[in-house]
Amino acid sequence: MAANQLPQGISAEAFAAACDEMRGVVGNEWLIRDNVQHLNSYRDTYSPGDIDATAPSAAVAPKDVTEVQKILAVARKYKIPLWTVSTGRNYGYGGAAPRKAGCVVLDLKRMNRIIEVNEKHAYAVVEPGVSYHELYQHLKQRDIKLWPDPAAPAWGGVLGNTADRGVGYTPYGEHFTVQCGMQVVLADGTVVETGMGSTANASTRNLYKYGHGAWVDGIFTQSNFGVITQMGVWLLPEPPGYRPYMVTFPEEDDIHQITELVRPLKISMLIPNAATTVGLIWEAAVKVSKAQYYTGSGVMPDSARRKMAADLDIGNWNFYGALYGPDPIMDNNWEVIKESFSQVPGAKFYFAEDRKGDAAFDYRAKLMRGIPNMTEFGLLNWLGPGSHVDFSPMSPVTGDGALQQFHFMRDTCHKFGVDYIGEFLIGWRDMHHVLMLVFKRDDEAHKRVIKELFEVLVDEATSKGYGEYRTHLDYMDKISGTYNWNNRALARVNEAIKDALDPDGILSPGKSGIWPRKDRDA
Amino acid sequence: MSTRRGFLASTLAVTTVPLVARAGVLSDAPMVRIITESTCADTLRFAARFGIHSSVVGGDPAEYLFDLERDLRDHKIDLVYGLSRASTQFLVEQTALPHGYQFGYQGQHRYIKQRLLHSLSGTRESIDIVAGRLEWHTRPWAVELADALGVLGSSVAPTQHSEVSAASVIPKDSSRHLVSWLLRPVA
Ligand SMILES: Cc1cc2nc3c(=O)[nH]c(=O)nc-3n(C[C@H](O)[C@H](O)[C@H](O)COP(=O)(O)OP(=O)(O)OC[C@H]3O[C@@H](n4cnc5c(N)ncnc54)[C@H](O)[C@@H]3O)c2cc1C
């Protein structure tokens, strides 16, 4: 553990003085530097990469906006780079660790108030430290009939996940789409309310997203232009009925037809929720490990895959969706959905009563009705003690797109001896194709394979015209480099905003490939 | 075997017991949070040893993780001891780290070709004793491991490593790979 890590270009004396001043703001307990265990919790031990390259020098946890402003003032004074996290559970994409070693993690977990839940208009306003679990419990304890939309890990945060443009599984699964109203502290300490929040009484702050003039909320996501300190999110009113279902499909190449069938159902909102088409191993791995079916090296052979699929009564693809509404509407929609998917030879249909005791169905059913849980972490046991890094290209909702992506990602994985563990998360007009590259945490050789594979996947995706929606710290420069049309016009806009809003470069340097001028020049 | 001081009604695969050192019950014995899960016969045996019944052992770590976080914060427990899949260990570790906890003991238990291989790390005295018990066990190994809490409770750091194996039939429902651990606050 590099406990004596310093921010680049900062002397030990200056850093000690900066830490003293930050300690003066938040109190001794919340400037985390000497408590090695606590500081270790900000390291990305989940990563296949060199975790010293993203090790923080310290962490600081303010309790409110005033303390955030004071910390920013210290950072400006000493030119200390900060790395903002909210709940800091971004595993697969970097955890709470900074892009650049030596940054001080600005940890907002203590700012954990649920500021408002508005039942009439179905929204909540939260501070950064509010986890999905906490919001869900808050609603449940008060018998408020509104559903949050959790990402798969319950300990993730409503604000942090949205800030990284994460996804969930109810009809409100595209998190940034249901964000409305934001409070941001800029690097110079100015507090900004976006959109309607900037009007005199802000009565529509969390109802109408855009306000008047340029709409800026988006620039504060997956970026380093400010510190978000409040966010409004719309919540789904509890529908009168809920029926989760699963459809299994036997063949790998069925993904083409499934996707063609899903598109009209999604666009017309007959399937209202963020549905998923889940690959065989992803579906199986929360229940069984690879060693139960195959103890050889390399990719699981087809015979073992088929045996596993038969034992678990699952398909090579497994579609999860849900019906919401009064019974007649659900009955009616089901007729259409069932008729559609029945066109795929071998499709099988299941409701909850058909899959009692099935951990995978159970956690999906919870997620699609807004109940946070942690079951999906079971996937990491596929190879024994494991972690994962996500490769996540976007795909159009077309059979050709899905099949092409699936083929090249599967085949590339197989060349490296790695199983394809993937799923498609289906939005209105897009799919997040998430490939979980699971590796053995204690096997350095395996980690090297995964890192090499990741690089190849990015290159192949780029050559085929696909871009990733989000990525791990180690690949932020590489992925942002693929968004390079017209001589990096988009990157140059980001850099201009960065230089204007944060001239000292103190906020999250390198987030999504956006570097402050001093780092670009270096 | 540790005596029981009660259950947490809101949690499933979890109980809290006072640590009974080999010297006997101490009046202010450290409180140990036991964490396991319902994934296979081995973990269920471990659970049963602490009075956790299979009918209430859940599979979703969220059922106990947030209670663990609260109880660590409120200093209601001193040690955390578990037998589980590796993913659960990761979640518990990440929950305990910010509270100044580290592993005092870690074990891996792998079924390989009709043998069960235990890789154990802890302080020398405790590991020697536990390794012996796991190698020459007469009762199911998970029961031995549960009962080793009194010994492992004093393990402060994984300095000694030991590997032992025993012939074993692979249980039908086994994931082939379990881990055990003891987390304790850094002195
Ligand atoms: C098994 C498993 C399953 C997963 N499933 C999903 C899933 O279903 N959906 C999904 O989206 N992700 C998923 N993830 C990834 C990740 O765990 C979640 O997205 C998680 O919600 C992110 O962590 P967080 O919510 O604590 O956000 P944080 O770690 O707090 O924030 C994430 C990032 O957003 C930015 N940010 C955070 N707060 C602020 C702020 N206040 N101001 C400015 N920028 C900020 C920072 O760059 C930060 O690194 C999964 C991971 C695992 C291991």
Across the interface, which of A155, A363, A380 has its CB nearest the CB of B60? Answer: A363
* pLDDT band at residue A305 under the 50/70/90 scheme: very high
Q: What is the SS3 assignment for A277?
A: strand
* pLDDT band at residue B98 under the 50/70/90 scheme: very high
Ligand 1, atom 41: closest residue by C-alpha: A228
Check pLDDT > 60 for residue B11.
no
> What distance in Å separates residue A146's CA from the closest CA in chain B?
20
Ligand 1 centre from A160 Cα, in Å? Answer: 6
Ligand 1, atom 34: closest residue by C-alpha: A164
Q: What tokens were used for A489?
A: 């016009």
Check pLDDT > 90 for residue A8.
yes
* pLDDT band at residue B10 under the 50/70/90 scheme: very low
At which residue do the structure tokens 């099935």 appear? A358
Lowest mean pLDDT among A366-375, A443-452, B35-44, B53-62: B53-62
Across the interface, which of A35, A373, A381 has its CB nearest the CB of B86? Answer: A381
Q: Chain B partners of A291 at a C-beta cutoff of 8 Å?
A: 111, 175-177
Q: Is B89 on the interface with A (CB under 8 A)?
A: yes
A176 C-beta closer than 6 A to ligand 1: no
pLDDT of residue B172: 80
Check pLDDT > 50 for residue A11.
yes
Q: Chain B partners of A378 at a C-beta cutoff of 8 Å?
A: 59, 85, 87
Judged by CB atoms closer than 8 Å, whether chains meet at B108 and A154 is answered as no
Ligand 1 centre from A53 Cα, in Å? Answer: 20
Q: Is A470 annotated as catalytic? A: yes
Judged by CB atoms closer than 8 Å, whether chains meet at A292 and B98 is answered as no
Ligand 1, atom 31: closest residue by C-alpha: A160
What is the average pLDDT value for chain A, to the nearest integer? 97
Strands A242-249 and A348-351: antiparallel
Q: Is A93 annotated as catalytic? A: yes
Task: Give the mean pLDDT of A195-214.
Answer: 96
Catalytic residue among A78, A132, A169, A469: A469
Q: Is A33 on the interface with B (CB under 8 A)?
A: no
pLDDT of residue A522: 82
A197 C-beta closer than 6 A to ligand 1: no
Task: Give the mean pLDDT of A188-211.
Answer: 96
Q: Chain A partners of B87 at a C-beta cutoff of 8 Å?
A: 377-381, 386
pLDDT of residue B25: 53
Nearest to A383 by CA among A351, A343, A419: A419
Ligand 1 centre from A39 Cα, in Å? Answer: 19
Judged by CB atoms closer than 8 Å, whether chains meet at B98 and A37 is answered as yes
Judged by CB atoms closer than 8 Å, whether chains meet at B66 and A359 is answered as no
The continuous run of DSSP H or E covering B66 comes out as helix B62-73
Ligand 1 centre from A65 Cα, in Å? Answer: 21
Note whether A58 and A3 are within 8 A (CB).
Answer: no
Ligand 1 centre from A164 Cα, in Å? Answer: 6
Q: Which A positions 404-463 lie with beta carbon below 8 A of chain B?
A: 441
A211 C-beta closer than 6 A to ligand 1: no
CATH fold match for the domains A114-237 and A242-476: no
CATH fold of A488-521 reads Vanillyl-alcohol Oxidase; Chain A, domain 4 (1.10.45)
* pLDDT band at residue B50 under the 50/70/90 scheme: confident
Task: Give the mean pLDDT of A330-337.
Answer: 98
Check pLDDT > 60 for residue B9.
no
pLDDT of residue B2: 34
Catalytic residue among A46, A78, A91, A93: A93
When the candidates are 2.120.10.80, 3.30.465.10, 3.40.50.300, 3.40.50.1370, the CATH number that belongs to A114-237 is 3.30.465.10
pLDDT of residue B40: 84
Check pLDDT > 90 for residue A64.
yes
Q: Is B38 on the interface with A (CB under 8 A)?
A: no
Strand order in the sheet with B31-36: B14-18, B31-36, B79-84, B177-185, B101-112, B115-122, B160-167
Q: Is A78 annotated as catalytic? A: no
> What distance in Å separates residue A363's CA from the closest CA in chain B?
8
> What distance in Å separates residue A308's CA from the closest CA in chain B?
13
Judged by CB atoms closer than 8 Å, whether chains meet at B177 and A379 is answered as no
Q: For A72-104, give one letter per residue: b (16+ CB within 10 A) or e.
A: bebbbebbbbbbbbbbbbbbbbbbbbbbbbbbb
Task: Give the mean pLDDT of A19-37.
Answer: 96
pLDDT of residue A504: 97
Across the interface, which of A35, A372, A381 has its CB nearest the CB of B87? Answer: A381
pLDDT of residue B1: 34
According to the CATH classification, is domain A12-107 in 3.30.70.20? no
Check pLDDT > 50 for residue B181.
yes
Task: Return the sign of the alpha-carbon dihedral for residues B84, B86, B87, B89.
Answer: positive
Q: Which of A46, A89, A423 has most ligand 1 atoms within 8 Å of its beta carbon, as the pocket-test mutant? A: A89
Measured between alpha carbons, how far is B66 from B50 in angstroms, rounded to an integer?
Answer: 21
Q: Is B60 on the interface with A (CB under 8 A)?
A: yes
pLDDT of residue A17: 98
Lowest mean pLDDT among A64-78, A220-234, B44-58: B44-58
Q: Is A489 on the interface with B (CB under 8 A)?
A: no
Domain coordinates of chain A in residue numbers? Answer: 12-107, 114-237, 242-476, 488-521
pLDDT digits (tens, 9 = 90+) for A229-241: 999 999 999 999 9
C-alpha pair distances (Å), B20 with each of B8, B120, B183: 19, 21, 16
Check pLDDT > 80 for residue B26.
no
> What distance in Å separates residue A290's CA from the closest CA in chain B?
8
Task: Give the mean pLDDT of A195-199.
Answer: 96
pLDDT of residue B24: 54
Task: Give the mean pLDDT of A263-287.
Answer: 97
CATH fold of A242-476 reads Vanillyl-alcohol Oxidase; Chain A, domain 3 (3.40.462)
Check pLDDT > 60 for residue B7.
no
Query: Which DSSP category does A205 fall into?
Result: T
Give residue A196's identity as a one-letter amino acid code: M
Q: Is B61 on the interface with A (CB under 8 A)?
A: yes
Q: Which residues are CB-neighbours of A86 under 8 A, at least 6 positions away? A: A108, A109, A128, A129, A157, A159, A160, A163, A228
A434 C-beta closer than 6 A to ligand 1: no
Nearest to A460 by CA among A391, A409, A399, A395: A409
Measured between alpha carbons, how far is A357 from A214 in angstroms, rounded to an integer?
Answer: 51
Ligand 1 centre from B167 Cα, in Å? Answer: 44
Check pLDDT > 60 for residue B22.
no
pLDDT of residue B38: 78
Question: How many H-runs (helices) and E-runs (strands) does chain B carry?
Answer: 6, 9
Single pTM value for the model: 0.95
